[in-house]
């Protein structure tokens, strides 16, 4: 399917690895020029080179922390008016409700709620002027069903979800869509670090921890960044203009719910 995106320009945040990279690769395969971001310059450059070589698109890089005001300003100075914005950042650490202080919540809120909101605030006006735009926020299945160890994620992402529910319906008439893509467990560094938590807590091997977590997913496996990226690229495509303000699970059936 031709996604109709050739020549469009996208900012993909937190995209040197994992799900962000999966989205960047899929958009590049559809002919989208990219601004990629991550904190570690070396990994970011390697990813950018690989994408340029594989897809022949223009890829610019901004090595910075997207959860800071300075980082966001740097990314926006390179591309203030993207056609497509994919919001992403690292997820908050696991723990228990009794562990966290205000400071922990503030960090999670900045990373997983306020950063995407601020990036939308700056880029939506350009999309509205142009009469076309796409925003996809990488959130989590924890939005639909809370994950006990990820209370910081449950909380911050709920705030972003509420913002998107309202704002997406205010910008849809201008040809701009905002949707959230909710990953379940995918084979990335983040999943490996959460597997490591299970290893530590239960005194089992990494293989056992992964088997245990795979058994909780009806598809009986972890998702891949490639599959996730393809779903993101479809939401960004010309075919997805009537999908507005949705929270789309990409979790192998892991969230046990009827709707
Ligand atoms: P990942 O494999 O650890 O990759 C994270 C990427 O984001 C890396 O490129 C990293 O590069 C970059 N990054 C992290 N913090 C950043 C920051 N402050 N500023 C700029 N770049 C940053 O993670 P992932 O699995 O793709 O997860 C992506 C998001 O999806 C996270 O919010 C995670 O909580 C959520 N999620 C993931 C899963 C899963 O199973 N994988 C499930 C549910 C939700 P640098 O470290 O160099 O900055």
Query: What is the DSSP annotation of 61-93?
Result: EEES-TTSHHHHHHHHHH-SS-SEEEE--PPPP
pTM exceeds 0.85, yes or no: yes
pLDDT band at 69 (very low <50, low <70, confident <90, very high): very high
- Under DSSP, the state recorded for 254 is -
Distance 130 CA to ligand 1 centre (A): 30
**Predicted local confidence at residue 78, as pLDDT:** 98
- Under DSSP, the state recorded for 98 is T
- Of 173, 151, 29, give the one whose Cα is nearest residue 101: 151
Tell me, yes or no, whether 129 and 156 share the same domain: yes
> Which whole number is the average pLDDT over 5-31?
98
Tell me, using a 6 A CB cutoff, whether residue 189 lines ligand 1.
yes
Tell me, yes or no, whether 198 and 244 share the same domain: no
User: Is residue 228, in this structure, part of any structural domain at all?
Assistant: yes
- Please determine, for residue 71, whether its predicted confidence score (pLDDT) is greater than 90: yes
Tell me, yes or no, whether 119 and 136 share the same domain: yes
User: Is residue 255, in this structure, part of any structural domain at all?
Assistant: no
User: What is the side-by-side strand order in the sheet with 59-63?
Assistant: 59-63, 33-38, 9-12, 84-87, 133-138, 176-183, 247-250
Of the residues 13, 14, 152, which should be mutated to test ligand 1's pocket, given the most ligand atoms within 8 Å of the CB?
14
Tell me, yes or no, whether 146 and 210 share the same domain: no
pLDDT tens column, 94-143: 999 999 999 999 999 999 999 999 999 999 999 999 999 999 999 999 99
Nearest-CA residue for ligand 1 atom 47 is: 40
- Please determine, for residue 151, whether its predicted confidence score (pLDDT) is greater than 90: yes
Question: Rounded to whole angstroms, how far apart are CA atoms 151 and 1?
Answer: 39
- What range does the domain containing 205 cover? 187-222
Tell me, using a 6 A CB cutoff, whether residue 18 lines ligand 1.
yes
> Which whole number is the average pLDDT over 76-81?
98
Question: Rounded to whole angstroms, how far apart are CA atoms 181 and 173?
Answer: 21
pLDDT tens column, 155-193: 999 999 999 999 999 999 999 999 999 999 999 998 998
If one counts the domains in the chain, the total is: 2
pLDDT band at 251 (very low <50, low <70, confident <90, very high): very high
Residue 65: both structure tokens together: 């922390």
Tell me, yes or no, whether 158 and 208 share the same domain: no
Tell me, using a 6 A CB cutoff, whether residue 115 lines ligand 1.
no
Tell me, yes or no, whether 122 and 199 share the same domain: no
Distance 46 CA to ligand 1 centre (A): 17
41: phi then psi, degrees, rounded to nearest 5: -60, -40
Query: What is the number of other CB atoms lying within 10 angstroms of the CB of residue 66?
Result: 27
pLDDT band at 212 (very low <50, low <70, confident <90, very high): very high
Tell me, yes or no, whether 40 and 57 share the same domain: yes
Atom of ligand 1 nearest to the CA of 65: 19
**Predicted local confidence at residue 248, as pLDDT:** 98
**Predicted local confidence at residue 190, as pLDDT:** 86
Tell me, using a 6 A CB cutoff, whether residue 107 lines ligand 1.
no
> Which whole number is the average pLDDT over 225-247?
98
Tell me, yes or no, whether 166 and 243 share the same domain: yes
Nearest-CA residue for ligand 1 atom 13 is: 14
**Predicted local confidence at residue 62, as pLDDT:** 98
Percentage of the chain beyond pLDDT 70 is 100
Tell me, yes or no, whether 99 and 197 share the same domain: no
Residue pair 210/144 in contact by the 8 Å Cβ criterion: no
CATH number, domain of 133, equals: 3.40.50.720
Q: What is the mean pLDDT of the chain?
A: 97
Tell me, yes or no, whether 207 and 80 share the same domain: no
User: Is residue 256, in this structure, part of any structural domain at all?
Assistant: no
Distance 179 CA to ligand 1 centre (A): 18
- Please determine, for residue 77, whether its predicted confidence score (pLDDT) is greater than 90: yes
Q: Locate tokens 């909780």: which residue?
A: 216
């Amino acid at each position: 399917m031709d996604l109709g995106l050739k020549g469009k320009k996208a900012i993909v945040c937190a995209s040197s690895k994992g799900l962000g990279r999966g989205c960047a690769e899929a958009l590049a395969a559809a002919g989208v020029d990219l601004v990629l971001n991550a904190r570690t310059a070396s990994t970011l450059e390697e990813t950018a080179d690989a994408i340029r070589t594989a897809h022949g698109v223009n890829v610019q890089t901004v090595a910075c922390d997207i959860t800071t005001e300075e980082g966001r300003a740097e990314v926006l100075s390179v591309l203030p008016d993207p056609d497509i914005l994919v919001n992403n950042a690292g997820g908050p650490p696991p723990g228990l409700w009794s562990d966290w202080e205000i400071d922990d919540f503030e960090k999670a809120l900045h990373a997983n709620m306020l950063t995407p909101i601020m990036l939308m605030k700056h880029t939506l006006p350009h999309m509205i002027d142009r009469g076309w735009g796409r925003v996809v926020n990488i959130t989590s299945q924890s939005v639909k069903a809370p994950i006990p160890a990820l209370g910081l994620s449950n909380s911050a992402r709920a705030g972003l979800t509420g913002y998107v529910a309202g704002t997406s319906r205010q910008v849809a008439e201008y040809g701009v869509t905002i949707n959230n893509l909710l990953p379940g467990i995918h084979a990335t560094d983040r999943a490996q670090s959460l597997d490591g938590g299970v290893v530590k807590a239960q005194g089992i091997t990494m293989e056992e921890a992964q088997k245990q977590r795979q058994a909780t997913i009806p598809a009986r496996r972890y998702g891949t960044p490639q599959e996730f990226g393809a779903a993101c690229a479809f939401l960004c495509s010309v075919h997805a203009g009537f999908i507005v303000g949705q929270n789309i699970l990409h979790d192998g059936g892991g969230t046990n719910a009827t709707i």
